[in-house]
Each structure stands twice: as structure tokens, then as C-alpha cells.
Structure 1
Amino acid sequence: MANFTVAIPVYNGERFLEEALESIARQDLEGVEVLVSDNGSTDGTPAILEKWADYLPLRVIRRPETLPMRDHFNALLDDVDSDAYMLLCHDDYLASPHALQLARRAIAVNPDIAVVYCDLLYVNEKRQKLATRHFGRVGRFDPDATGRRCLRTGRNLFGIPLAIRRAALGDTRYGEEFLYAMDIDLSWSLGRSGDAFHIAEPLIANRYSSDNTTWRLLGSTLGEYLRLATKHATPPGLMGRTRIALTCQFVTVQKLLFRIYERAMSWQG
């Protein structure tokens, strides 16, 4: 049995899926399973997966019907049976051939940590570099303090998990009250099972493209951050709600400007 799983949820992912699989193939795959959940794709995704079955330790689950995104992610988590895993979106990829080795080493050396994070590389749909996100930390950090900083800044200051210990995940799943902030909610919830650990290298490439759901969810930012505060910290009063509202409005403008930058880079490329 594999002791680490790279879990990939995909729906009509023929544009980018192969890049994700290629990035995994460059890793040390001893003891690794690549688990792909095909959410009823109608494009070339099944053919890509069939081809890559010859090159990767691949297990494919084909959903009989297309699930909503959050339900699909949760169904995939139910199918992970290794000691640790990472969830890699089909349009992202591993930015270093050492990413899984470093993730698994961090889990092994720190048996009491729940999650491993890393710095991120932001790329566009043509794989052009947009920016590198450095989180300014290294080693062990406090998830609860990080979650509270997310509320103050309106941003995901956890990042994308590079490895999650399945024992820490337990019955925790993506909460039904979140979509835009679902990653923050899960990361904050996992913090109840132990500290987090950060590797200060850009090991995951996070892709920005016209396909991203982020752009469609910007209108729900305020409501979800208020729910984050109520669930994980203290229900905000009038001043707290006003502060969160202003912060979310400012971050939304920043994200829209970044989208213009991403689109410009794609057009020029």
C-alpha cells in the first residue's frame, strides 16, 4: 500500500491535466499513489488518463454523475487511504522535482505536525510566471494565529497544502458553508490536530486562467469571511463586520487588478 497519495480532482481538464501528471512523473514515486477522480468529464480527459496509466502508479475513479465542486473534493478525500496526501488541482502542477520528497520528509521528521505548506509560484494558462509568493516563514507555525491573520488581511495566509496527515484530517471535510474560503476553513480546522510546517521554496505552481472559479466567487467574499470569524474565532460585532467588509473590498480590487495583469500576460504571450 502506498504511504502517500497525490489526489487530483478533474472535470474537463484536457487543457492542463497533462502538465500536472508530467510534474508528478518527475518526482520520486516510491510509495506514492496518484489518485485521480474524474467528475464525469466529456472532453479528452479519460484518454489522457488512459495514456498516463502506463507511466504513473495511477488509480482512476470515474464518477457516474458530475458532482458540485465541494462535494467532488470531499468524495475524493473519502477515497484516500494512505498515511498522508496532497490535493493537487488538475490545472496546477508541482514546480520542483523534489516537491514530494521534501513534503514526505517534513511529515516523517515532524510526527506531530498536521499539514505541510510551501511557497507558491503563480503562472498563467501558458505557464508564464506571474509572481512568486513568499510567505515569510520557515518551519513550524501556529495555524490558529495564521487563521486570525487571514481575517485581518482578507487573504489566504496558509497557502496550498503540500502534505496533509490523514490522521489529522479524520472526518474533517470542506464545509458546506464555504466555497471562496473553503481552503482557509479546512486549513484552520486541521490546525486543531497539530501545528503546521512551512518549506520556504516554491514547490507548487498555482495557475491563474479564465477557467478559475475564484473570479466567479469574488462576490461571496464578505459573507464567507464573516462565517469564518463566527466558526473559528469570535462572531464579529458592528466594528468587526465593518473592518472585514472594508478589507474584503480592498482585496477584491487587488484580485481584479491581478486578473487584468494575468490576462495581459496571456495576450502578449
Structure 2
Amino acid sequence: MKFSVVMPLYNKARYVHSAVRSVLAQTLPPHEVIVVDDGSTDGSAAAVESIGDPRVRLLRQSNAGVSAARNRGIAEASGDWIALLDADDWYHPEMLAALAQAHQACPEADLLGTGFRKVPHLMGADPEPWPVTDNFYEVEVVDDLRQRWMRTSPFCSSSVAIRAARLKDMQPCFAEGDHYGEDLDLWFRVADTSPVAIVNAPFAANRVLSDSLSARQPRHTLPRFLQQMRDDARAGRIPPRHRESALWFVGQQEVTLAREALALGDRRTALRFLLDARRVALTRRWQLTLLMALFMPARVADSWQRWRLRSAEVFSPEGP
């Protein structure tokens, strides 16, 4: 397998050297590493140039956003698989080998992924590899990625690879101008017509930004990719076997957004999201959120939701 690793880069001079080196250190060597510098102003491009490896290609463009950078890297790639890596994340040395193992387990899958570990954003720029004990890992084959995602996120943007021919047919792959969910949008569109093969072990490290709830503003509208998903499901543009789960997934995300609005003290917006999510009104999660919106004192709701938002991902609601 020839893996082209595409890395969007914007002002990550502190981390990008380590990210690229983690690709070059793979036990299954990459075909190429394409770094797309999206108008950095902090010396990021110079950090990449200093590596001096012929497998590393640096492309430069005016700042246009992460989706445009990824799309350009995909267009330039010559491998038969395209793996993605953010410039402040990094690979375990067995990452590409694990993706190859997923392909061997399910050759028809167009989307491969592995688990990942979260690390604090301020963790050192040149971390040591972490132990992953087995030599052969369980490969989970997923037919309905939306249903699977609602249990827990099985991979992240830095632990995924997609068949290059599939991506080139979908260009522009990532919706340019979006800054919320553009990666999930692509994963689900690929998974609508292909199984997904996932190695359930952490082979990528994802640097987690600190998130100040007090600095957030309530989201008053459904993100564009979720609006499009709902429209596509209703219009029959999603395969029949996935339409109901697509509508269910959108409803669950509306419940999540309602909880975010409650945490930020906006009950009116929370109730509106819950009304829009009435398709999932029979679920315990929807009903509990409604009770919170109607009856829980604002101070208690705020404290409870702050804990929830610190301990769970927005797009992976679990439990109540």
C-alpha cells in the first residue's frame, strides 16, 4: 500500500517538525508527506524545509482554511491511500502498519481508521511513542458509521485514511468555508457507500485544545453539514439503509446543542433545539434534557452541564 500523508499547516511551528518526523519514522514507510502551508506567519514552513527529506513536499498557499489545504494536498497526492495528520498531532510508529492491517481485514473498505489518544495541548512538542502491546489488533468492520459514532468516536482526523481514487472523485472533499464538522461530513459520505474498517487501538495522538466554556457563545442554528445531512436523507440522496440513522443522528446532535445552550444559560434556544429534535423524543436523553430545560434551576443546570462538557465530546453523546 502506498500512503500519501496530507498535513494542513497553519502557525504550528512549535509542533510541525515532530508531526512530520512521526510519519517518516513509520515501520511501514510512507510514499510521501504533503504539507500544505496555509499562509503561516510564524516560521512553520521553514520548520518543514529544515527536515530535508525528499519524501516531504511543502506546498504554499494564501490562507484559505484547513479544508482548502486538505483538498489541495489530496489533489497533489500520488499514493493509492491518503492518510491525514494535523500539524500538532503525531503518529505512533506503527500507525500506517495498523491501517494496512485494517485494509487486509476488509479489502473492500474505502475508509480505514484507528483509535487515538488525547493529550494536553501544552504537552511537549517531541513526545516519546506510547506502548501498544499486541502485534495483531482487533479490526472492527462498521456498516453504519453514524450509529457507531454515537457510542464513541472510533477515530479522529489524524487517525484515518481514505482510498485516493474515492477522494479524487469527490473533490472538493472537504466543504471549504465550514469550520464545524467538515471532517465528519466527509467520513459519513464515504461510509454511506462503503464499509469502514477500524483498528481498535490508539495509533495517533490528538492534541486537545483547552476549552473555556465561559468564552463560548450559544449556537443558535444547526451546523451546515447537519442541515445538509437531514436534507439529503429526506430527499433520498442517502442510501435507504442509512436514511433513518442519518435523521436519528441529526436529532441526537440537536439534543447535544440543546445541552450546550443550557450550559450557557440560553433556555429558549435549548427548547427550540429540542423541538427540532422531536424525532428522538422517545429517548431518555431527549427527555432528561427537556426536564432540565423546564425545571432545573439555572445554577444547577450550569454546573451539571459544565461537568458534562468537560468530560464528553459534543458529537459523541453517551449515557444519559
TM-score exceeds 0.5: yes
Q: Where in structure 2 are there 5+ consecutive unaligned residues? A: 128-137, 233-237, 264-303, 312-320
Partner of 2:99: 103
Q: Is the 8 A contact 2:115 2:200 kept in 1?
A: yes
Q: Does 1:92 align with 2:104?
A: no
After superposition, the Cα gap between the structure-2 partners of 1:122 and 1:114, relative to the gap in structure 1 and judged at 3 Å, is: same
- Which residue, 57, 62, 78 being the options, matches 2:75? 78
Q: Which amino acid aligns with 1:200?
A: N
| Cα distance in 2 for residues equivalent to 1:186 and 1:138 | 21
The correspondence of residues 91-240 of structure 1 with structure 2, limited to 5 A, is 91-94=88-91, 96-108=92-104, 110-127=106-123, 138-142=139-143, 145-148=144-147, 150=149, 153=150, 159-160=156-157, 161-172=159-170, 173-176=173-176, 178-210=178-210, 219=219, 222-224=222-224, 225-231=226-232, 232=238, 233=243
| Cα distance in 1 for residues equivalent to 2:187 and 2:49 | 33
Q: Which amino acid aligns with 2:169?
A: D
Q: Is the 8 A contact 2:114 2:154 kept in 1?
A: no
Partner of 1:267: none
Give the deviation of 1:245 after TM superposition.
2.5
Pairs aligned (count): 244
| TM-score between both structures, scaled by the size of structure 1 | 0.74
After superposition, the Cα gap between the structure-2 partners of 1:258 and 1:70, relative to the gap in structure 1 and judged at 3 Å, is: farther
What are the Cα deviations for residues 61-116 of structure 1, in whole angstroms up to 9, with x where unaligned?
A: 111x211332222222211221001110101111x211111212332553211111
Q: Which amino acid aligns with 2:81?
A: A
Q: Does 1:249 align with 2:262?
A: no
| TM-score between both structures, scaled by the size of structure 2 | 0.64
Q: Which amino acid aligns with 1:11?
A: Y
Which has the higher Rg, Structure 1 or Structure 2? 2
After superposition, the Cα gap between the structure-2 partners of 1:122 and 1:208, relative to the gap in structure 1 and judged at 3 Å, is: same
Q: Which amino acid aligns with 1:72?
A: A
Partner of 1:66: 63
223-232 or 11-20: bigger deviation:
223-232
For residue 171 of structure 1, give the secondary structure of its aligned residue in structure 2: helix
Say what the alpha-carbon RMSD is for the aligned residues: 3.8
- Using CA pairs below 8 Å that are at least 6 residues apart, which structure has the higher relative contact order? 1
Give the deviation of 1:251 after TM superposition.
6.2
Partner of 2:272: none
Instruction: Percent identity, please.
Output: 25
Give the deviation of 1:26 after TM superposition.
2.2
What are the Cα deviations for residues 125-161 of structure 1, in whole angstroms up to 9, with x where unaligned?
A: 23389xxxxxxx842111xx222565xx497555434
Q: Which amino acid aligns with 1:228?
A: M
